[in-house]
Amino acid sequence: MVHEWALAEAIVEYIAKESVEKGTSAIKKLVIKLGLLQGVERDILDFALRELLKSKGLSIDSIEYVDEAVVLKCRRCSYEWRLPLQEIDSAVREAMHFIPEVVYSYFSCPNCGSRDYSIVRGRGVSIERIEWEK
């Protein structure tokens, strides 16, 4: 039972509110964007989402997950780069799993050394789209 449950709870809470606004409890398709910086375990998130949706009385046909690579851009020299997640120490990846912004603790711009960069893409989990049954 891990952090994915907390993320799933936040997603389901949002969906439950929207369900009231839409006047339906049946979801055709849910598309979730998985920013790879957070290193979310897809299977656990999927299990948690389905269990929590069920507990809220919401039905769902399918959940699609879209991976998003981590792209960082330096504010000082404008260099843009991808974070090579597979080469990163597991303890650091674990830390970024909980608080993605600790990326600033461990990495600087490979071009100029600055830590003043932005996470352009791939930070965390977000809802890309909800398709409701009509």
14 lines the binding site for other proteins (CB under 8 A): no
Q: Which of 101, 128, 131, 133 binds other proteins (CB under 8 A)?
A: 101
Q: Of the listed pieces 16-24, 55-63, 79-87, 103-111, which binds other proteins according to CB under 8 A?
A: 103-111
Sorted by sequence, the CB contacts under 8 Å of residue 15 that are 6+ apart come out as 27, 30, 53, 56, 58, 127, 130
47 lines the binding site for other proteins (CB under 8 A): no
DSSP character for 69? -
Q: Of the listed pieces 1-9, 20-28, 59-67, 80-88, which binds other proteins according to CB under 8 A?
A: 1-9
80-82 vs 125-132, strand pairing mode:
unpaired
* Contact criterion met (CB below 8 Å) for 8 and 48: yes
Q: Which of 64, 69, 98, 110 binds other proteins (CB under 8 A)?
A: 98
95 lines the binding site for other proteins (CB under 8 A): yes
Residue type, 85: L
